[in-house]
């Protein structure tokens, strides 16, 4: 399997105290990514940056460091008014989101 398409698993998946919230996060991730893509398509860099600044700490909380890092990249690109960089990072974020859903047993 191509490493860029391999499922991504949460480092918190076995934490019973976080599991229900983790499931909710992963299940809602597709809608959240849709909102990010809509903001980017509308050219709303400020909104896109805000959404990614909100996503980044939640992704870390639920054990998805890679997602958090890319959300931070999108946010920084938006702050720097670099729409091409924001778009490229958003494509990567979208792919990571798909891999997270494949790796999370509660999201099927």
Consecutive sets of 10 residues in the chain, 108 residues long: mean pLDDT of each?
A: 82 92 95 97 97 98 97 98 97 97 72
The pLDDT, as a whole number, for residue 87 is 97
Residue 39, exposed/middle/buried by CB under 10 A (0-12, 13-18, 19+)? Answer: buried
Under DSSP, the state recorded for 62 is: T
The pLDDT, as a whole number, for residue 5 is 82
Q: Which tokens is 62 given?
A: 């639920």
Dist. CA 48–CA 76, nearest whole Å:
10
Contact present, 56 and 72 (Cβ < 8 Å): yes
Contact present, 22 and 62 (Cβ < 8 Å): yes
The pLDDT, as a whole number, for residue 1 is 59
Contact present, 88 and 76 (Cβ < 8 Å): no
Contact present, 4 and 95 (Cβ < 8 Å): yes
Q: Is the pTM of this model over 0.85?
A: yes
């Amino acid at each position: 399997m191509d490493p860029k398409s391999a499922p991504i698993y949460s480092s918190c998946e076995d934490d019973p105290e976080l599991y229900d919230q983790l499931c909710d996060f992963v299940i809602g991730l597709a809608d959240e990514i849709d909102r990010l893509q809509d903001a980017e398509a509308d050219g709303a860099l400020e909104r896109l940056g805000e959404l990614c600044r909100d996503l980044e700490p939640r992704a870390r909380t639920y054990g998805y460091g890679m997602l958090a890092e890319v959300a931070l990249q999108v946010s920084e690109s938006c702050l720097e008014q670099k729409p091409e960089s924001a778009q490229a990072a958003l494509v990567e974020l979208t792919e990571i989101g798909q891999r997270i859903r494949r790796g999370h047993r509660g999201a099927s």
